[in-house]
Structure 1
Amino acid sequence: MSYRCPLWVMPLIFFLSLPVQADEQTLRVLAWPGYADSDVVAGFEKRFNVKVEVTMVGSDEVLRSKMTENQGGNFDVIAANTAEVHYYADQGLLQPLRPERIANTSRQLPRFRDYSRIPDVVVDGRIYAIPYVWSDMGLIYDRKQFSQPPESITSMWDPKFRGSVLAFNTSNHNFSLASLSLGGDPFRIEAADFPRVSEQLIALRRNVLTFYSLPEEAAELFRRHNVALLFANYGRQQLKQLRDAGIDVGYVIPREGALAWLDCWAISRGARDPVLANVWINYMLEPGVSNLLTERQGLPNTLQEPNEGGPSNRLIWLRPVEDDKRRTELWQRIVSGERPPLVQQ
């Protein structure tokens, strides 16, 4: 009787068959908090007898600055959303991937293996990223303050909730939300429409309690200030945090749809050991590892459907926007209380 080697073993055999070089045995990982916890990293190091250096980021802006230093040569494998993957691929900062060399991709849900239908994973006919974790960015609401769940994203602008709304401090997503609330394209705002969208954001600034940066900060503000409505930039991770804190909250996808992010693993052009980077991606797609992320952070992984509110047909996956720089400059003026010249009367 012949013995067939399990698929998941193949990347390990390939890696262990290579000559050992001391300067190639450290894997440099650039990721978000919760994606590479110390026990997960220790398990990888022990199994493959290598060292892992993890650098954490808290925003796409910081991630981009890290990746553009030394043309991506400071890291081997990164976690980034699909819109950022497209940007990095266009800049020549990533290596194309061969999913068939990452055996655990076969464990993923079919929709995460159909790369042709996932925006920005395929660039110029090449696959640059493997989906890992995702979330819609819905609305979290205090059940005590709503007789019915909010139906529209425009609830964030409702005057009766003035001072009890939390929004995320970011330029791209807020312009996308404002455009969406006005019935426009969230990622392609025409020049003639910027004044109207900017006015909508000025109105939002006046209605919110504040703009938060981290999910822990939002949870504390929600608890202390009797917040009614929260735009969940971190999605279901924030829902879990609030419920774990004993707060009675609900979660909805508004009728206009919800922005949604899909974070992927990608390999930097400057990776010193692409094979080891593939082994890392394969390891992160093991059920035990992916499920830990879901249990700890409340984020859906790509191996199984979420426990609450499965995939929605109203998800709007993040895409590259028409002008990052313009959005950033205008947002800095808006959030500081300065009226942008673009929208002055």
Structure 2
Amino acid sequence: MSRIATTGAVAVLATAMLLSGCSSGGTPNSTSGTTRAEPPKESMQTTLGAGEGQLNLIAWAGYTEDGSNDPSVDWVHPFEAQTGCQVHTTYGSTSDDMIQLMRTGQYDGVSASGDATLRLIYGGDVAPVNTKLVPNYDTISSFLKDGSWNSVNGQSYGIPHGWGANLLMYNSAVVSPAPTSWSAVFTDSGEYKGKVTAYDSPIYIADAALYLKATQPSLGITDPYSLTTEQLAAAVTLLKQQNANVGEYWSDFTKEVQAFESGTSVVGTTWQVIANLINSDAKVKVETVVPTEGVTGWSDTWMVSTKAKHPNCMYEWMNYITSPTVNAQVAEWYGESPSQTLACEETTDPNFCTTYHATDAAYAAKIYYWTTPTAQCLDGKGDNCTSYSDWVNAWQQIRG
């Protein structure tokens, strides 16, 4: 997603995305959905021993900078010097890619987004995390802890790293009046036919469900990730209608930047960092808004493999990457809200945390964070919900 002052790592991430098609979601393959009510019983580490000298990670590009992309951006080498754990990173291209990599058993941990976390948990690929062994966990924002995407039955399966909202963005010179509802890209999208943009992933179905939750209460949607067959069908119908007006679906955020700057897109879903990048070039002026219906969003979590060969180094890493100074560095380079509340005292841009609403609990409360859909309804209404594989199939129908 981004970089220091919103520009430092753009070329780096763009290269990574061109090589791998990187996005937090992407268009997944037909990974099976989760249907189990309880995750497999996996042991949790109870004590922290000496580091094993090595750490093998799967991460999003920009999360494990070692100075090779920019000499001034390096938090890996200080970690290695501090712990003796030599870091080796494989960058994931999509959440599905990360899941497949984790299942090889060659990695100690992963920076997973919410559309992957439950699949990893229920698949037995990640272990419960002992947060007592991660001192910096105490001062992580409370609204990121014990979420439906990173915990099961009160047991944490990871350490929150960074987060953000999926906002509504519009070209203020073209789109008037200023939109306040997701209707701008759904029921009213015909006004900007061919210039609407949407996120290219099955998890985007939740955006439509969130809109229907507010506008069609008779459907009974309580959680946009807990959809019955009927509710999913309603979301699919809405998205098929939208499809006729979408000019481009994006997963590589650089394409959305280019589309808005060229004028081929004027309204659609976005991340804050994308708006910052567009406005920094001053070719066009865009605005972002949290619509009245609320927004979906993402929270990335560091998770420990059940097959980790270097678990002590992994715990050391989770504590280090969420320390105030390092978490601030990652957040500014990547373009996201830090999970660590004390990170705001360490950012180079004094306004960074205000721009990204880093510790704004009221803002965070408007976000429905990406959570893997499961047949066992996440909102507790039963076991008649649609699974992620159902969403994958539905997305293929929508995209045609």
Please state which band the TM-score falls in when normalised by the shorter chain.
0.7 to 0.9
CA distance in structure 1 between the aligned counterparts of 2:139 and 2:88, rounded to whole angstroms:
27
Deviations 1:11-65 (A, max 9, x none): xxx65xx3x8xxx422111111211122222222233333211111232222222
- 1:152 pairs, out of 181, 185, 188, with 181
SS in 2 for 1:131: strand
1:182 is paired with a residue of what secondary structure? helix
Aligned length: 308
Matching residue's letter, 1:90: Y
- Residue 142 (str. 1) matches residue 180 (str. 2): no
Which position in structure 1 is the counterpart of 2:63? 35
The structural deviation recorded for 1:205 is: 1.2
CA distance in 2, matches of 1:282, 1:212: 33
Q: Which moved more, 1:96-105 or 1:240-249?
A: 240-249
| Residues 303 and 194 of structure 1: CA distance in aligned 2, closer, same or farther (over 3 Å) | closer
Residue of structure 2 equivalent to 1:180: 210
**Match runs of 1:19-58 below 5 Å:** 24-38=52-66, 39-58=74-93
The answer to whether the 8 Å contact 2:98/2:110 transfers is no
Tell me, in whole angstroms, the C-alpha distance in 2 between the residues paired with 1:40 and 1:284: 8
What TM-score comes out, normalization by structure 1 length? 0.82
Q: Which runs of 5+ in 1 are unaligned?
A: 1-13, 337-345
Kindly indicate whether residue 367 of structure 2 is the aligned counterpart of residue 315 of structure 1.
yes
Percent identity for Structure 1 against Structure 2: 21
Structure with higher helix content: 1
Contact 1:141-1:249 at 8 Å conserved across structures: yes
**Aligned runs of 1:100-179 on 2, under 5 Å?**
100-112=132-144, 115-116=145-146, 118-157=147-186, 158=188, 159-173=190-204, 175-179=205-209
Task: Please state if 1:280 is matched with 2:310.
Answer: no
Equivalent residues in 2 for 1:7-26, closer than 5 Å: 18=50, 24-26=52-54
In 2, distance between residues paired with 1:152 and 1:80? 30
2:116 maps to a residue whose letter is E
TM-score under structure 2 normalisation? 0.72
After superposition, residues 221-300 of structure 1 pair within 5 angstroms as: 221-232=259-270, 235-246=271-282, 247-300=284-337
Max Rg structure = 1
Measured in 2, the distance between the counterparts of 1:56 and 1:195 equals 35
Give distance in 1, aligned partners of 2:82 and 2:298: 31
Query: What's the offset of the Cα at 1:77?
Result: 1.5
SS at match of 1:151: coil
Q: How many Å separate the matches in 2 of 1:192 and 1:101?
A: 44
Instruction: State how far apart, in whole Å, the 2-side matches of 1:91 and 1:51 are.
Output: 28
Given that 1:149 and 1:252 are in contact with CA atoms closer than 8 Å, whether structure 2 keeps it comes out as no
Structure 1 vs Structure 2 CA RMSD: 2.1
Structure 1 outlier segments of 4+, above 4 Å:
none
Is the contact between residue 143 and residue 248 of structure 1 (CA under 8 Å) also seen in structure 2? yes
CA contact (8 A) 1:82 1:119 kept: no
Q: Where does residue 329 of structure 1 map in the other structure? A: 393
Distance 1:259 1:87, change over 3 A: same
Which residue identity is paired with 1:307? Answer: T
Distance 2:178 2:333 in 1: 26
Q: Which amino acid aligns with 1:28?
A: N
